[in-house]
Structure 1
Amino acid sequence: MKNILKTAALCMGLISLVACEKDEEKATLNADAKIEASLSTDNVVLTQGTASQTALTVSWETKNLNINLAPKYTVNFVRKDGKKEKSISVEKSPLAITGKELNDYLISGLEITAGTTTEVTVAVRLVLSDQRNFSSEHKLKVTPFLDEIKPSDWGVVGDDTGWGSKPDIKMWKEGDVLVAYATLNAGGIKFRKDNSWNGPEYGGSNGKLVPKGDNIAVLAGTYKITFNEKALTYSIEKYSWGLIGNGAKGWGDNDDIAMTYEGSTNSWVVKNVTLVDGDIKFRLNHSWDTNFGADSTDNKPVAALSGKLKDGGSNIKVSAGTYNVSFSFDVKTKEGTYKIEKL
């Protein structure tokens, strides 16, 4: 019994000591405790040419805290209307942000339109381990740029381009190969550089290419066309992404609304599409073998009009209206993002 009483007394003493220490820490927090932040500039015009350079440096220091509680810092970018915010966890000052990073925060995080100058709030927030917090805010004028991908010098020429009377179908870099997405009529195609017959051109058959080779025969359809200049090989496969669901035309086998590849943003888009109250998803080649939906842990329909995608993900809820719909994904990870923009 004595041992139990001693143990209890010891525990009570420890609890009292901890409580006293916490009370003392709280008591020693100065009334004028604060965090002071500064920005390297108050106006940033971002360009693709300077994307890898530091565009903005956020610095801060805490004053008069006089306590031992562990601080946690975040740098937050807040849209002018307060409806969108991008938060970055940081350990210490300063935080240097490249042009590309800041551009991504503005366009993807805050959904600010490229090429427009707008004002955002940059807030450095200090949160103590007992949840007390401090903030220092500054206004920043920013102009993001459209982070476009440039097409390669190569293109697909053929019956659908009038063998040169129309621009060649653009090819985009995808890993070690170039790729084009196109809907073709029955006929023939070849690969050529710089939209010209004066430079290198390739034709062939059975996946093999030779300089100035024969036209490559194709049937009518929508295809993914790849070209490997080093190995002199090509491939042509049926490939079409569609928007499907009872929020679009329906869930039937032929209800897909065709989407178009936009190489400059590496995304699939359908513009000015009329949707109704319901759900949508994205699927490949009119089949459920490959389909993308929202990245949701509970597999329930997701109401967010932008967010992460995953292979086989959840339905995305939409309401009646006219929209631009786009999505992009990584072939290897089978993850991506989507955006549904009401017009």
Structure 2
Amino acid sequence: MKSIFQNFLLAGLALAVFTACEKDEDRLVLRQQAPATLTSTAQSVTLTSADAAKPALTLTWTPPNYGYSNAAVAYALQVIRKGAADTIMIDNGTSLSKSFTVGELNALMLRAGVQPGTQGQVDISVKSTVVTNTSPARTNFAPAYSNSTTITGTPFSTAPTYPTALYVPGAYQGWSPDKASSLTLVNSDGSYEGYIYFAAASEFKLTSAPNWDNTNYGTGGVGKLSTTGGNLSIDSPGYYLMRVDLGKQTWTATKTQWGIVGAATPKGWDASTPMTYDATSNTWKVTLDLKADDFKFRANDAWDINFGDTKADGILDAGGDNIKVPAAGKYLVTLDLSKAGKYTYTLTKQ
């Protein structure tokens, strides 16, 4: 009888131990016995746009040791700019290597915050995570991190570069790029502007140099540009503000009639006093009596396009401060918009 009781007791204890172990297993955290070891084929890389498609370096690493051979592990590269806190994670699946071209590494360094043209460093390590298909998972696996390797390089800018000027050859001037009016780059994003006088309706194109041997732009549809399109066109004569955005491949042409407006002028601030275009000097002129007061230049008797002189240096600023007339009298007022990006005016007392 005692023997039977002992057997039941032992069975009960075994069951209790089994249950306790099962619960303990649910709370078990498995940690690696040896982390991954990361190596790189290069520590310093020369980055140039000409070599963007060439191999830069390859990272390889050993799998971490979790104490058993069947651990399925997924990897991600952890990239941090030297001295920074933000982390970039790049999923790499189950592969034990990652190769970068020069262009890819350049993009990674820029993304990490290294400035173009400045030498910088990024630290790269590998995060290893055990993949389990058990649902719910019966074991918690802590991520493992490899050693870090430092990559040094000077990234190049991937922003497009634009010519400083665009030339506008067309029927209005004999299709000669070297003698054509031009537009000036006014913003590094590829925005150009300039004023061009068309004596008659005309077809034209845009060229990136004062010749036909480089990149040329024609129509890509209404308001659009194309390097393979036909001629652009202006359908009536006039003095046009032309704006081109090579980044967006768009263009506009706004016909303008210039005048002066302000307390110094006969019509005050209520209306513009028209100016006359002089094709010989490529300037706008008007002679009139002015008061010792303020005025501005504006197009089309409206405020959409207007100029003032913020620094009082004779160089016009879009939407700038009012221009001061030094003393009352008769003046020849001249507006020169022929030099894109450096518009000027003069007041000559008669």
* Smaller-chain TM-score bracket: 0.3 to 0.5
More strand by share: 1
TM-score (norm 2): 0.45
In our comparison, the structure showing a higher alpha carbon Rg is 2
When the two structures are superposed, what TM-score results if normalisation uses the length of structure 1? 0.46
